Structure 1
Amino acid sequence: MQDEVKSDYALPVSMGSMQQGSGEALLAQGVNQDNLMWVKLDKERTINSCQRGKVKKIGKDDAMGNYVTIDHGKGIETKYNNLSEVTVGVGDEVNKGDIIGKVIPKVPNFETFYFEILYMGERQKVTDYLKV
């Protein structure tokens, strides 16, 4: 699975300061941050599907905001969190690079986009699968 993702999957957003590990704001809300990647964005950015798949779920989490989960088959899912806008619907088929939403920072601050790769429902270490 790891080799397939490394060769076929792309980062969901370009630019910004990418980090992995713990963030105090999420820790304060009790969010398990193991293997969670986040990107600090200082201007509006589109968020793209990192691979072909089907939109499985759209929702809102108290700690991580609006999210989209995409099922890529073979037990692989990606989850895109803290979206300002969602531009897809449940059941939509998406291709690698398709826009699934936007992150729009609140002036004059930055906004943080959170990204997860899941295999069989378990969060994986993003840097093991994607070049960041």
Structure 2
Amino acid sequence: MANYCYSTYRITGEASELDALYELMTRLEKEKKNGNWVGHIVEALNKKIPEHLYVRGWWDELEREEDCISFSLESAWDPIYEAWDFICSKYDSLSAYFIGEEPGCEVYLKRDHPDKGWFSDNYYVDICTPKEEYFH
């Protein structure tokens, strides 16, 4: 069984391309069984999932904000940023930014937008004191 990685994503770029990706994602959510699976986007843009590309993840809470698309992502083991980089590469201007946490294997990754500063956390501490008090 996989350890789950919980991530927050922001996709930026030109408005027309953000609209196109957002429309694709909302359409897939409605049309496909398990429609929010990342692999559906890759298949829609590329016909086939490349063998090297890991797409085991599902998005939720999809929103089209003024300057980005935002969503949460649940994936196995890591934030699957390679899949989102592949998706964004199918458009001229899109870029993916994220913060992901998978505490079981101590995976904490982020790629933040240099001007936006969406993900201010640089460290994550998960401790239990001798008095069995838990802090995050």
Q: TM-score, normalised by structure 2?
A: 0.29
Q: Which has the larger radius of gyration?
A: 2
Q: Larger % of helix: which?
A: 2
Structure number with higher strand proportion: 1
